[in-house]
A = this chain, B = another copy of it.
Amino acid sequence: MISEKMQKLVAGSSVTRAMFEEGNRLAKIYGRENVYDFSLGNPNVPAPEAIKKAVIDIVTNEDPVKLHGYMNNSGYEEVREAVANSINERFGMNYGANNIVMTVGAAGGLNVIMKVLLNPGDEVITFAPFFGEYRNYVSNYDGELVVVSPNTKDFQPKLDEFETKITAKTKAVIVNSPNNPTGVIYSEETFKKLAEILVKKEKEFGTSIYLVTDEPYRELAYGGLSVPYVPKYYHNTIVGYSYSKSLSLPGERIGYLVIPSDIDDYDLVFQAAGVATRVMGFVNAPSLQQMFVARCLNESTDLSYYERNRNTLYEGLLEIGYEAQKPEGAFYLFLKTPVEDDVKFSEMAKKYNILVVPGTAFGCKGYVRIAYCVAYETIVNSLPKFKELMEEIKKG
A residues contacting B by CB (< 8 A) are: 1-7, 9-10, 13-14, 17, 20-21, 40, 42-47, 51-52, 55-56, 59-60, 63-65, 67-73, 104-105, 107-112, 115-119, 122, 133, 136-137, 140-141, 208, 248-254, 264-265, 268-269, 271-272, 275-276, 278-289
Contact = CB atoms under 8 A, between A and B. Distances in A.
A1 B117 contact: yes
B55 A107 contact: no
Nearest to A208: B1
A58 to B, nearest CB: 9
Given A272-B9, A278-B17, A65 B52 contact: no
A51 B281 CA distance: 23
Contacts of A271: 10, 13
Given A68-B248, A115-B6, A275-B6, A282 B269 contact: no
B64 A248 contact: yes
Nearest to A282: B104
A40 to B, nearest CB: 6
Q: How many copies does the complex hold?
A: 2
Contacts of A68: 47, 51, 248-252
Contacts of A276: 6, 9
B10 A264 contact: no
A235 B70 CA distance: 34
B253 A283 contact: yes
A82 to B, nearest CB: 17
A299 B120 CA distance: 46
Contacts of A117: 1-3
Given A6-B276, A69-B250, A105 B283 contact: yes
A249 B44 CA distance: 30
A104 B148 CA distance: 34
A59 B52 contact: yes
A128 to B, nearest CB: 19
B47 A64 contact: yes
Contacts of A286: 104, 251-254, 286, 289
Residue from A63, A68, A133, A252 having most chain B Cβ neighbours under 10 A = A68
Nearest to A49: B64
Contacts of A59: 51-52, 55-56
A55 B6 CA distance: 36
28 contacts: A1-B208, A1-B268, A5-B119, A6-B116, A9-B272, A9-B279, A10-B275, A14-B275, A14-B278, A17-B73, A42-B69, A44-B65, A46-B63, A51-B68, A55-B288, A65-B248, A68-B252, A69-B248, A104-B281, A104-B283, A107-B283, A109-B281, A111-B281, A112-B281, A133-B278, A136-B279, A281-B282, A282-B282
A60 B252 CA distance: 16
B60 A52 contact: yes
Given A40-B70, A46-B65, A140-B279, 11 more contacts: A2-B265, A3-B117, A3-B118, A7-B268, A9-B272, A10-B268, A43-B69, A56-B56, A108-B282, A133-B278, A288-B288
B253 A116 contact: no
Contacts of A250: 68-70, 283
Contacts of A52: 59-60, 64
Given A3-B116, A110-B281, A275 B9 contact: yes
A4 B63 CA distance: 40
